[in-house]
Amino acid sequence: MDVILFLVFAIIAVVCAINVVVQTHPISSAISLIGVMGSLAVLYLLLGAEFIAAAQVIVYAGAIMVLFVFVIMLLNAGAETRKGRSFMVQLLGVPLLIGLLGLLAYFVQRLYLPGVTVHFGGFRGGTPLDIGRALFTTYLLPFEVTSILILIAILGAIVLARKEMD
């Protein structure tokens, strides 16, 4: 059952990811990206990480992508036209892609041997309790630094927007 569900949602994720690049209209690409994030959330659920799955949907699919769609709708962006590709892209694109995927597959196989549960450093599990404890004890400093980083980004955006207005 787990394997079937994994295959179904992994295939949906990959198809949606390809669709993000292939589609010419920004809205269609954004919708495909939502599909990728939704199926990723299901994959997290299959790994037993309920909190990460919920956060994935709430933060990425529900908040960030809504803003994407909102901005695309507000700017009323039209469909893009396909330009001719350069010779180098046609020649090197496919081999480089295969090389990158192969490298990724190699590292994943080396890092996660069969029978080893999923972990991130020394951290295992995905319930809200585990994550809360890890965030506020082991990873407290990185967590707070990240939030200050985001705050700085917001302030920077406001400063830039005010400069435009004046």
Write out the residues near another protein by the rule CB under 8 A.
27-28, 31, 34, 41, 50-51, 53-55, 57-58, 61-63, 66-67, 69-70, 73-74, 127-128
d(CA 29, CA 24): 7
What distance in Å separates the CA atoms of residue 148 and residue 151, rounded to the nearest whole number?
5
Nearer Cβ to another protein, position 66 or 145?
66
Between 12 and 69, name the residue whose CB sits nearer to another protein: 69
Within 76-139, residue ranges assigned H as helices are 87-111, 128-136
Q: How many residues does the chain have?
A: 166
Q: How far is it, in rounded angstroms, from Cα 42 to Cα 94? A: 30
Residue closer to another protein (CB basis): 6 or 48? 48
Least separation, in Å, of the C-beta of 70 and another protein? Answer: 5
What distance lies between CA 31 and its chain's CA centroid? 13
Half-sphere exposure of 85 (CA within 13 A, CB side): 7
What's the closest the beta carbon of residue 34 comes to another protein, in angstroms?
7
In the complex, what is the shortest distance from the CB of residue 57 to another protein, in angstroms, rounded to a whole number?
A: 4
CB closer to another protein out of 67 and 111: 67
CB of 137 to another protein, least distance (A): 15
